[in-house]
Amino acid sequence: MNQLISSIADRAKVLLVSNSPNDVRELLYVLDRHNLGTGLAGDIDEGVELAAGGTDLILLDAALAGTNIGATCMRLRNAGGRHGVPLLLMSATPSAEEQGRSVGAGASDYIKMPFNARDVAEKILMELALHKAEASAARPSAALATPLRPLHPQTLEVNYHSILAGSPDAVLLFDIDNRLLIDANHLAEELFGMPLAELLQGGMEPLFPKHQEDGHASPQLLEEKIRDTLQGKIVVFRASCCHRDSHPIACEIRLMRLSVPGRQLVHARIIDLTERNLAEAMRAGQSALLEMVAKGAPLIPTLNQLLLLIEGQSRGVLCSIMLLDDDGIHMHSAAGPSLPPEYMALLEGVAIGPGVGSCGTAMFLREPVVVSDIMRDPLWAPYRELAAPFGLRACWSRPIFGQDGSVLGSFAMYYREVRQPDARDLDLIDTASDLAGIAISRMRHERELQRHRAHLEELVAVRTAALTQAKEQSEQTNLELAAALENLSITQAELVRRDKLAALGALVAGIAHELNTPIGNGLVVATTMAERTREIQASFLDGLRRSELGAYLTQASEADAIMLRNLQRAADLVSSFKQIAVDRASSQRRHFLLRQFVAELMLPMYTPLKAAGLSLTQDVPDGLAMDSYPGPLGQVLSNLLENCLRHAFEGRSGGNIAITARGSDDGQTITLSISDTGVGIAADDLAHVYDPFFTTKLGSGGSGLGLHVAHNIVTGVLGGHIDAISSTGADSGTTFTLQLPAAAPQSPAP
């Protein structure tokens, strides 16, 4: 809104009476930006109370007024003893009946919701300004004994003219009843190219062409928009206006009804969209042009497109592009879609130099050349007779440079009138020259690339012959390498066989070592008891005493216990050995939910965990399913948990074991981890945890096979892999992580 209206309404206070703050929040913000004081009341009583404190305009939501709109409007307008405060009624359910009752109740105008906050703010400012102008006209002068008469509607335009004088846009005031234009500001005079007196004499119709660009008749369009405005709408639309010299002007027109008793006045703010439209066309044209360059479009059509784009930015301009030959001396006509072809032909092959018109001089001097009058400028002395028959009077030219700074050609703007460029013209020249430079450079790069391709083809032919010879040599070498590879494969197979035998030997040695202790212990006890039995038999023949029999029985009972214990130990070891070779043939594959499976598997573990003072947490998402072997997977988890119980919390009174599972985003992999807060595993030991018979509790009941068995199952039956990380010290603990396929492989993993 213009500065003058803002100054007239400076710090005026606007009261909004609405119980829907969201509907008016943006309007409050816009009014504050206009330096207006605002108040918001949620009901009529609060509105009356705030109005009594002083207000200059009231905006009332019809929903709060109810059916008795007249009484409500009068109550708000007369609050605090003031009369005639402007009141605007806004309604989310507008109707002609409600509008009539609101105007009859003294409302200045009727606004339909939802509304554009800036449009309503402009209307409020206009109402405040007009109200203040009327009040000033009616206020008694200090120099007069009697008060002045109130402002008469017929004298309104005098005050209105002072209001709109500072507007940044063209503003017109129409008297609809008399179909007259009764006021306009100086920007309207500039926009339409008419003095104020001529504007006021012509009325509305001369400001518009007979038909709009879409074919609609302008009078019918105006009638429709004015009819909507008189119904209380703030009408915003785009249309073509007409300059005095008949050229069209693209405009945005904003119509607003003024609430003046006894007259139907419409305030029109007209925003010239010419510059905006030209800028939008320029941006779109540049994008299209750069797209043509990027796609490798032919140069001449690309340059013609560029020149037509520039010609659309300025009335009367005729553009051309000249290209400088590779010899750096002669120029050639490349593009000039709007210039006469005969003229362009006359410029073909002309040598550049000082005094060779605008283009030849610009390329020679490597700087812009502006000739505002061809018939008088000495640079055109040798060529005036060429330009005169074609009516060319002005020519401005700028050299086109490549990326390396070399001159590629020139861009020129011709006019059929004597003319000096303004700042916008110079910007257009720079833009066009830069775009032309991009297109021409691309063409030259393409040409250079074609030359390189031809040279490359020659090199390829020579190189192909050399490669053919090298291929024959390489084929012979490949035969030799194949023989060497076969020998290497045989050697590797032999090494693998030997490694397997060595591993089997180590395994057998370990088995023998582990079984030797319980079997040896049993053998010693059995031998001792055999000798003792012979002694008892001899004593029996000589007369066995009761005490000797009792001693023998006691010894036999102890021997039985020792042998049973060692035999059980041997049986456990054999069972562990069998687990090393577990395969799919002994396991049943099925679909199962991992959360339920883990929960059931952990049930027997709670008692030993509780006895050890440990807690167990499980974090397995619902719906995480596997198609695998639950038996072997359960064996792995049991071995890992038993390993935690046996080793992780030695010397500690408590701790936690956590089981966590997560599925990958693609659902193909499941990560299952068992972590503890125990003492951790030393780095030297961590490297051997999967070795058979490796244990840090030798002689304490551990076989050293639990993690070895788990590793074999994970990498074999389950088709995954297992990792372990551990730390000792203050933040000690160990985590075993299993990466398992959600669907186990069908064949044994290698």
Are 348 and 401 within one domain? yes
Containing 397, the helix (H) or strand (E) segment is strand 394-401
| Per-residue pLDDT at 738 | 95
The CATH number that applies at residue 31 is 3.40.50.2300
- Residue finishing a domain among 228, 251, 272: 272
183 DSSP 8-state letter: E
Domain that holds residue 36: 3-117
Are 436 and 453 within one domain? no
Q: 209 CB contacts (<8 Å, ≥6 apart)?
A: 218, 240, 241, 242, 248
81 domain-assigned = yes
86 domain-assigned = yes
| Per-residue pLDDT at 495 | 60
Are 435 and 475 within one domain? no
Report yes or no on whether pTM surpasses 0.85.
no
Alpha-helix residue ranges (DSSP H) falling in 355-422: 357-365, 384-387
Containing 101, the helix (H) or strand (E) segment is helix 96-104
Block mean pLDDT (10 aa), the chain, length 750:
46 87 87 86 89 88 80 81 76 74 71 82 77 56 37 47 65 85 86 86 83 88 88 84 87 82 82 84 87 87 92 90 92 93 93 93 95 94 92 94 91 94 90 90 83 84 84 84 82 60 56 70 82 83 80 85 80 62 61 91 83 89 92 89 85 87 93 92 84 68 74 90 88 92 74
Are 431 and 456 within one domain? no
747 domain-assigned = no
748 domain-assigned = no
What b/e string do you get for 266-290 counting C-beta neighbours within 10 Å, with b at 16 or more?
bbbbbbbbeeeebeeebeebeeebe
Are 319 and 432 within one domain? yes
| Per-residue pLDDT at 321 | 94
Give the chain's domain count.
5
Are 478 and 522 within one domain? yes
152 domain-assigned = no
Query: Can you say whether the dihedral through the CA atoms of 156, 162, 168, 170 is positive or negative?
Result: positive
156 domain-assigned = no
Q: Are 51 and 40 in contact (CB under 8 A)?
A: no
Are 451 and 434 within one domain? no
The C-alpha atoms of residue 102 and residue 729 are separated, in whole angstroms, by 84
- Residue finishing a domain among 209, 241, 272: 272
Are 377 and 484 within one domain? no
The CATH number that applies at residue 626 is 3.30.565.10
Are 533 and 436 within one domain? no
Lookup: tokens for 467 = 């490669």
139 domain-assigned = no
- Residue finishing a domain among 222, 242, 272: 272
Are 599 and 557 within one domain? no
Q: What is the torsion angle, in degrees rounded to the nearest 10, for the CA atoms of residue 739, residue 743, residue 747 and residue 750? A: -10
| Per-residue pLDDT at 266 | 86
Burial of 264 (0-12, 13-18, 19+ CB in 10 A): middle
| Per-residue pLDDT at 361 | 95
Are 307 and 435 within one domain? yes
The CATH number that applies at residue 375 is 3.30.450.40
Question: Is residue 106 classed as helix, strand or coil in its secondary structure?
Answer: coil
Are 457 and 419 within one domain? no
The CATH number that applies at residue 264 is 3.30.450.20
405 domain-assigned = yes
